[in-house]
Amino acid sequence: MKILTGNDLASGDVVWWDGMGWSRDVNDAVDVGDQDAAILAAEEAAQRVNASYAIAATQTAEGVRPAHIKDRIRALGPTVRLDLSLRPGDPDAAKQVI
Amino acid sequence: MYQYDQYDQAMVDARVEEFRGQVARRMAGEITEDQFKPLRLKNGLYLQLHAYMLRVAIPYGTLNGRQMRMLGDIADKYDRGYGHFTTRQNIQYNWIKLEDAPQILADLATVEMHAIQTSGNCIRNISSDHFAGAAADELVDPRPYAELLRQWSSFHPEFDYLPRKFKIAVIASDTDRAAMRLHDIGIQIVKNDAGEIGARFYVGGGMGRTPMIAPVIRDFVPALQMVSYAEACLRVYNRYGRRDNKYKARIKILVHEIGADEYRRQVEEEFAHILTLGLEPPAAELERIAAFFADPGLETGLAEGYDRSDPDFAVWADQNTAAHKQAGYKAVVISLKPAGGIPGDATADQIRLMADLAEAYSLDELRVTHTQNIVLPHVKQSDLYALWQKLDAAGLGSANLDLIGDIIACPGLDYCSLANARSIPLAQKISERFASPERQRTLGELKLKISGCINACGHHHAGHIGILGVDRKGTENYQLLFGGSEAADTSLAQIVGPGFSEDGIVEAIETATEVYLKARAEGERFIDTYRRIGAAPFKEAIYG
């Protein structure tokens, strides 16, 4: 699947395109098919997110998994500060990212 | 230490208000990100992997308690309760909101701090010896010269759009504690045969993807002509440095490609021209600046020595303090490298505690080191024990300065959008593996530096042991390098062999230390043994 990500303009938070807007949870990301360029252009014009781009991902039993480690870390947060990540209660979160 | 005059303060205050307006226009959608990005970068605001990151300048790494306390307060108020001290003697905050950035800069301005020129293709924060003004072996305090260069380089219109970023270090002792020869310009303050103080210029060093050691371009420049010589060095670079390829744009490439002799010839020609313009600062200005760095209030007549009856304290004092120019004092290095910790990170409470301790025990001065530690430069030996007890209680008492646990590591892929691999987890694993203080001391001085990409923010080229993280088909892989140094014996580390996984490289380092312990001669450090016996015995043991 192809999903879209970027950083929220005001907060800088990592966000994912959920079909209607931008979510902070990668599991809300939707497959945009061949619409990535059109959505990114519209969102860039709307100036809600920065540095947005399309990435490859797979839908797994655990949720949406970006193909590249960099995006998996973006989806979680720093693996060395899980207390600041989106899964602060999951001690195995870092291992799953890698 | 230096205090802003009305011009410094007015410039910084005006910049804050300018940026406040720029952020407001960006938030209102009146300017695009393409228009805004260069403006925020001019104010040290990056967009990193998870959020905005603000890099705050700490000129030549020097700050007082009030400034340090503000850094802690900012970590609490605007970030997530911690800050990261960097290899450029700066601090970075990893979780900044765009809307808060102008007020953070306003808060910083109240304590004479800013984030100007901490990004962009300009002259960056000028670094220096973290023991400046305290070191027993320094010729003079290098900071007045660094401050003179800071004032010259701040908002210098001619050098605001250089081919690439530009880093200057200034030292004043033969013991290089600032990686001076690995800077675009390295300046050593020296005395000539006539007894005059001046500057020796090294130009064209750097790390990154093409590491180079800077050659001497001029052996002696009179102190008051130092700014003009730097101007000549920059002017030649600005004219001929490559702008078509960012990977070939640093001054080291220019000096290498045209040769040091030709570069020197052009600089001398430009320097001769600049001298005709009479732009040198007046002696009174250097004296005015130097007066800020004069004696911070050191007492005389203090006895040497202190009670060492607590063995844990004695170990720390032996490892983490340095000789001071004044009898009865020591310069103290607070390690930000606890076993299993994140190199360079400090909590807001720890930052504020260090501010308190600087005021109580170090004549209100602190330094940030390029090795991501904090220095209290002027501590009475009679206060060392009380200081250590307070540091130790706050998790700041690690006795590992310059040992294998004192690891430099860049933020890596956990935070940095440029990184290819994570650095911090590796540093944590290695420091845990070698956590035993006795084992660390048995190994002796061993500088281990980790970068998460070829940009080398973790100084891997200059590590006795260096580690470079790379992306191998989407998987983190780590190259191992031996033989680097950023001290007076500057050398560039060489790749030992094929790369490793995260666990594999920890084992490889373990093996390398075993080879060293078996082969070392009396008094040899790891790097000395490596230089004497070469890479072959290490390779054989590591790769078979």
- Per the CB < 8 A criterion, the answer to whether B506 and B458 are in contact is no
Give chain B's domain count.
Answer: 4
Task: Mark whether B166 and B244 lie in a shared domain.
Answer: yes
- Per the CB < 8 A criterion, the answer to whether B538 and B512 are in contact is yes
Task: Mark whether B26 and B167 lie in a shared domain.
Answer: no
**In this model, does residue A98 exceed pLDDT 90?**
no
CA-closest candidate to residue B238, choices B121, B145, B329, B143: B121
CA-closest candidate to residue B372, choices B211, B202, B179: B179
**B305 CB-contact burial (10 Å; exposed 0-12 / middle 13-18 / buried 19+):** exposed
pLDDT category of residue B9 using cuts at 50, 70 and 90:
very high
Tell whether pTM > 0.90: yes
Q: Is residue B121 part of a domain?
A: no
d(CA A34, CA B432): 47
Q: Is residue B122 part of a domain?
A: no
- CA distances in angstroms from B364 to B69, B392, B517, listed in the order given: 11, 20, 42
Condensed to tens digits (0 to 9), the pLDDT of residues B270-311 reads 999 999 999 899 999 999 999 999 989 999 999 999 999 999
A12 contacts B97? CB cut-off 8 A: yes
**In this model, does residue A44 exceed pLDDT 90?**
no
Lookup: tokens for A92: 């195995």
- Averaged pLDDT for residues B15-33: 96
The set of residues, in sequence order, having a beta carbon less than 8 Å from that of B384 and lying 6+ positions away, is: B306, B313, B317, B321, B330, B332
- Per the CB < 8 A criterion, the answer to whether B224 and B287 are in contact is no
Q: In the prediction, which pLDDT does B10 show?
A: 97
d(CA B69, CA B83): 12
Q: In the prediction, which pLDDT does B263 show?
A: 98
Task: Mark whether B46 and B94 lie in a shared domain.
Answer: yes
Q: In the prediction, which pLDDT does B201 show?
A: 98
Condensed to tens digits (0 to 9), the pLDDT of residues B189-206 reads 999 999 999 999 999 999
Lookup: tokens for B389: 């007890």
The DSSP symbol for B301 reads S
Phi, psi of B39 (to 5 degrees): -75, -45
Shortest CA distance from A98: residue in chain B: B475
| pLDDT more than 90, % of chain B | 99
Q: Tell me which chain A residues have a C-beta less than 8 angstroms from the C-beta of B417.
A: 70
- Averaged pLDDT for residues A51-77: 96
Q: How many angstroms separate the most distant Cα atoms in chain A? A: 39
- Per the CB < 8 A criterion, the answer to whether B293 and B2 are in contact is yes
Whole domain around residue B260: which residue ranges?
Answer: 142-291
The complex's ipTM? 0.96
A78 contacts B415? CB cut-off 8 A: yes
Distance, in angstroms, between B253 CA and closest chain A CA? Answer: 30
Distance, in angstroms, between B230 CA and closest chain A CA? Answer: 37
How large is the C-alpha radius of gyration of chain B?
A: 23
Whole domain around residue A44: which residue ranges?
Answer: 2-97
Q: Which amino acid is located at B438 in the chain?
A: E
3-state secondary structure of A55: strand
**In this model, does residue A94 exceed pLDDT 90?**
no
Q: In the prediction, which pLDDT does B353 show?
A: 98
Task: Mark whether B20 and B81 lie in a shared domain.
Answer: yes
Give chain A's domain count.
Answer: 1
Phi, psi of B229 (to 5 degrees): -70, -40
Q: In the prediction, which pLDDT does A96 show?
A: 80
Condensed to tens digits (0 to 9), the pLDDT of residues B480-498 reads 999 999 999 999 999 999 9
Distance, in angstroms, between A10 CA and closest chain B CA? Answer: 5
Shortest CA distance from B474: residue in chain A: A68
**B503 CB-contact burial (10 Å; exposed 0-12 / middle 13-18 / buried 19+):** exposed
Condensed to tens digits (0 to 9), the pLDDT of residues B60-95 reads 999 999 999 999 999 999 999 999 999 999 999 999
**In this model, does residue B161 exceed pLDDT 90?**
yes
| pLDDT more than 70, % of chain B | 100
- Per the CB < 8 A criterion, the answer to whether B15 and B78 are in contact is no
Task: Mark whether B262 and B350 lie in a shared domain.
Answer: no
d(CA B434, CA B110): 42
Q: In the prediction, which pLDDT does B298 show?
A: 97
A67 touches B: beta carbon within 8 Å:
yes
Three-state helix/strand/coil letters over B227-249: HHHHHHHHHHHHHHCCCCCHHHC
A74 contacts B49? CB cut-off 8 A: yes
Lookup: tokens for B438: 């006795």
**In this model, does residue A97 exceed pLDDT 90?**
no
d(CA B299, CA B297): 6
Q: Is residue B324 part of a domain?
A: yes
CATH number (domain holding residue B176): 3.30.413.10
Q: Tell me which chain B residues have a C-beta less than 8 angstroms from the C-beta of A71.
A: none
Condensed to tens digits (0 to 9), the pLDDT of residues B223-246 reads 999 999 999 999 999 999 999 999
Handedness of CA B521, B525, B530, B532 (dihedral sign): negative
Condensed to tens digits (0 to 9), the pLDDT of residues B98-144 reads 999 999 999 999 999 999 999 999 999 999 999 999 999 999 999 99
Element (H, E) at B360: helix B348-361
Task: Mark whether B251 and B155 lie in a shared domain.
Answer: yes
Shortest CA distance from B98: residue in chain A: A10
Q: Tell me which chain A residues have a C-beta less than 8 angstroms from the C-beta of B47.
A: 7, 12, 50-51
Task: Mark whether B428 and B492 lie in a shared domain.
Answer: yes
Q: In the prediction, which pLDDT does A47 show?
A: 86
Q: In the prediction, which pLDDT does B365 show?
A: 98
Distance, in angstroms, between B441 CA and closest chain A CA? Answer: 27
Element (H, E) at B189: strand B185-191
d(CA B77, CA B376): 25
**In this model, does residue B474 exceed pLDDT 90?**
no
Condensed to tens digits (0 to 9), the pLDDT of residues B334-369 reads 999 999 999 999 999 999 999 999 999 999 999 999
The set of residues, in sequence order, having a beta carbon less than 8 Å from that of B518 and lying 6+ positions away, is: none
Q: Is residue B81 part of a domain?
A: yes
